[in-house]
Amino acid sequence: MSKGLGKDIARKLGLPQPVVLRRHQRGQPLMTGPVLVQGAGSGADELAAALLSWQLDVRRHAVPREKLGAIILVLDQLARPEDLAKPVLTAAASLRDLAPNARVITVSRSAGDTVDPAAAAARQGVDGLLRSLAKELRAGATGNGILLAGGARTTSPSTLGALGFFLSGRSAFVDGQFLTVGSAGGQLPADAEKPLAGKVAVVTGAARGIGAAIARTLYRDGATLVVVDIPAAGDHLAAVANEVHGTALQLDISSPDAGQRIIDHAVERHGRLDIVIHNAGITRDKLLANMDEDRWNSVIAVNIAAQLRINEALLASERFRSSPRIVSVASTSGIAGNRGQTNYAASKAGVMGMVRATAPLIGTHGGSVNAVAPGFIETEMTAKIPFATREVARRLNSLQQGGHPGDVAEAVAFLASDAAGGISGEVLRVCGQNLVGA
Ligand code: NAD
């Protein structure tokens, strides 16, 4: 069914029509319009000063009826739930002045980082506040939060890195989400347009869909690419490799020696290995009552067992020791569950468990490991969903539309960068704030 026809029927059915999201384009500024930094204390002052050095139009007080590009609400000093009222209601007065595609970003401390019940209540309160606010925003505007944990401050490299990501068009389809900055590690790039310059990155499942988009985005950001896919996808893989001026490695990631072959190829062809993106994945959907061994086993083998085995080889290798980065592609199905996807959801929830437990292991080498969990993304995988289900499913989120493969790629590229070095063991959803389950 053509897109035009689908749109026409969707309109007749009274389904909401999506707004065009602001997406990052090379050479464009981080964002346009004034950035209002609200919140008292040195953390807010220092953060505002750091943003000024990015040539942003930073305000500490709202000017009535001036259109705002973003509101950053610094809530790093909450001791009791009552402390929320003043800063939150002050920010509320500016919400009607947000420009289309604006951003609201909270910066607060992680509730898990305190044993004081009142402080934990106040900090956890930000979670409910932000997720609800994100559902109230309109016209492509999004709301996301940064949680400070461990030794992280409002001006730590990864706090600023996450702020840059959330402010920019790179986070167009990330809405209602939190990222925890767990340390003062990480480093902002020398060249904001080429944050991955000098890095060698491997992307699995890169012959098409989200994997091909990840390869293109990492290339745009300056990385040298190794693209991996099964031999049957060889022609498409070669085309992607040519496009990103990288090399192709035909490999089934579930083969026992996949990890070593990836390391050997990267080192022999490009001299090093810095970044591995586990994107390859398959679905074999059936209700559990009708599930057979083959469907169950193949999904577990490709989606999670292969990643575990490859990571073991990576962590054991002396060639993967210079600020190594691993980013896995999970799925919101692994968070909220999805009818007909017990095998897939088990594998994708498994990815999130793996990422959490691998973080301290790769941390000993100064590295990080994270996952992105896409929601409804417009790819060949989701194009197979029957028309009516698809038209509804793609609208079941706060932005009322499906995401693009490039939206997932942007989140992956950020987590693979040095700027995200203080973020590890995290899962970032790229789902437009899916309304179902999570
Ligand atoms: P896709 O089917 O279009 O592409 C997946 C690629 O992985 C294909 O090129 C395939 O050949 C490759 N692949 C499969 N098995 C492999 C193996 N054993 N070894 C090497 N390569 C293999 O899928 P997509 O929609 O681009 O999804 C990419 C990832 O994103 C998957 O992990 C998927 O589960 C996840 N995801 C997708 C969506 C979505 O809405 N499309 C949502 C959530 C998560």
Question: Residue with the nearest Cα to atom 17 of ligand 1?
Answer: 252
Q: Can you tell me the mean pLDDT for 31-36?
A: 94
pLDDT confidence of 12, banded at 50, 70, 90?
A: low
Of all protein residues, whose CA lies closest to atom 33 belonging to ligand 1?
A: 281
Task: Give the position, in ligand 1's atom list, of the atom nearest the Cα of 254.
Answer: 18
Mean pLDDT of 373-388: 88
Torsion sign (Cα): 191, 31, 408, 435: positive
Q: Where are the beta strands (DSSP E) in 149-296?
A: 178-181, 200-204, 224-229, 247-250, 275-278
pLDDT for 438: 45
> Reduced to 3 states, what is the DSSP secondary structure of residue 127?
helix
- The active-site residue out of 165, 166, 344, 376 is 344
**CA dist 106 → 73, 83, 154, 176, 313 (Å):** 5, 15, 11, 11, 38
Known active-site residue 219: no
Residue 257 has a CB neighbour count (10 Å cut-off) of: 12
Checking if the pLDDT of 211 tops 60, the result is: yes
Q: Which DSSP state fits 285?
A: -
Mean pLDDT value across residues 128-139: 96
Spatial CA neighbour of 142 closest among 21, 8, 296: 21
Q: What pLDDT score was predicted for residue 18?
A: 85
Q: Which residue has the higher pLDDT, 211 or 391?
A: 211
Give me 284's structure tokens: 């074999």
Q: Which atom of ligand 1 is nearest to the CA of 301?
A: 18
Whether 301 lines ligand 1, by a CB cut-off of 6 Å, is no
Q: Tell me which residue has tokens 């959803």.
A: 429
Q: Is the pLDDT of residue 199 over 90?
A: yes
Return the pLDDT at 2.
Answer: 43
Could you tell me if 297 and 305 are in contact, meaning their C-beta atoms sit under 8 angstroms apart?
no
Q: Which alpha helices (DSSP H) does 278-425 contain, by range?
A: 293-300, 306-316, 333-336, 342-363, 380-383, 387-393, 405-416
Confidence at residue 65, expressed as pLDDT on a 0 to 100 scale = 83
Atom of ligand 1 nearest to the CA of 377: 40
Ligand 1 atom closest to the Cα of residue 348 is: 34
Closest residue by Cα to atom 7, ligand 1, is 205
Q: Does any ligand 1 atom lie closer than 6 A to the CB of residue 235?
A: no
Contacts of 26 (CB under 8 A, 6+ apart): 193, 220
For residue 249 and ligand 1, the question of a CB distance below 6 A is answered with no
Q: Which of 261, 348, 381, 390 to mutate to test the pocket of ligand 1 (most atoms within 8 A of CB)?
A: 381
Residue-level pLDDT at 174 = 98
Q: Which range among 118-132, 206-220, 384-398 shows the weakest confidence by mean pLDDT?
A: 384-398
Is residue 377 lining ligand 1, measured as CB closer than 6 Å? yes
Nearest CA, atom 6, ligand 1: 205
Share the mean pLDDT of the chain. Answer: 94
Which tens digits make up the pLDDT trace of 174-185?
Answer: 999 999 999 999
How do residues 256-287 score in pLDDT, each as one tens digit? 999 999 999 999 999 999 999 999 999 999 99
Burial 266-280 (b: 16+ CB within 10 A, else e): beeebeebbbbbbbb
| 373 C-alpha to ligand 1 centroid (Å) | 13
From ligand 1's centre to the CA of 227, what distance in Å? 13
Counting every residue written for the chain, the total comes to: 438
Ligand 1 geometric centre to CA of 208 (Å)? 8
| DSSP labels, 304-341 | IIHHHHHHHHHHH-TTS-SS-EEEEE--THHHH--TTB
Looking at per-residue pLDDT, the higher value among 438 and 72 belongs to 72
Calculate how far, in angstroms, residue 428's C-alpha sits from the geometric centre of ligand 1.
18
User: CB of 207 closer than 6 A to ligand 1?
Assistant: yes
Q: What is the mean pLDDT of residues 303-316?
A: 98
What digits encode the pLDDT tens for the residues 68-116? 999 999 999 999 999 999 999 999 999 999 999 999 999 999 999 999 9
pLDDT at 126: 98
pLDDT category at 387 given cuts 50, 70, 90 is confident
Q: Is 374 in the pocket of ligand 1 (CB under 6 A)?
A: yes
Q: Residue 428: what pLDDT?
A: 98
- pLDDT, residue 131, reads 97
Q: Tell me, what's the pLDDT at 27?
A: 84
